[in-house]
Structure 1
Amino acid sequence: MTQPYLFEFPEIGAPEKGFITVAENLKNIPFEVKRVFWTHSIPAQAIRGNHAHYRNQQILVALQGSVTVITTSPSGEEKSFELHSPDQALYLPPNVWRIMNYSENALQLVLSSELYDETDYIRDISDFQNQWK
């Protein structure tokens, strides 16, 4: 199984004019993007996530502010990732539990490999842990 990992999108531009950051299907994104959504207006220190997916792969980007993502693998290994720049991204493979904590005024972009499907969610941590025993 693939583990979550941080990577950077290419930036084009200069400080005096600004930058464009580029994400491309199957080039620097390891899957075809089928769904895009963003989270915003989240109260500071609010917790979101608390789930895993059976099939869905995701790329998370903090477009504004910061997002701390705590992941748990099926083996129980926990990792913490801090997203704080719009050219930095976190790849989340299927079957990884995630908890996200947001700074004030955070804006998070999510690129997904699947359309929304409630049956793809694992919403109970006990179910997630029991699946891998």
Structure 2
Amino acid sequence: MSSEDVAAQFLEVDFGVLAELDDNEAALELVDMYDEETNSVIQQLEAYTRLTESAQTAQAWSSIWAFLHKLKGSSLSIGLVGVAAFIESLRSSDISTLHEWYPKVFEQLKSAVVQSVDKIKSNLE
């Protein structure tokens, strides 16, 4: 599976978690938490994009990996299909070719995050 394919599957929301909640307010709180965390991922990925050419690249990757692992184990159990594969594909990528495929992966990730959050919010309204 290519990095782009993995990124496209990166966020698959487990609607069962939200469906089990009797209280819409509690569900919306979870959505807000999810929204915050995914926005944080986007910000870190954007920060990485700015650091690609700098000496801080390794530190940026390390921060992104740690955050993705945290999300993978989140109580929301939002799926995050392919997180491990995505992380490994980043780790094993030749840093010199990263600029070629990274923007595509990032755009798909960002799109998946936005769509997932929008879908949850519309289901709860």
* TM-score, normalized by the shorter chain, greater than 0.5: no
Q: Tell me which of the two structures has the higher relative contact order, counting C-alpha pairs closer than 8 angstroms and 6 or more residues apart.
A: 2
TM-score by length of 2: 0.25
- Of Structure 1 and Structure 2, the greater strand share is in 1
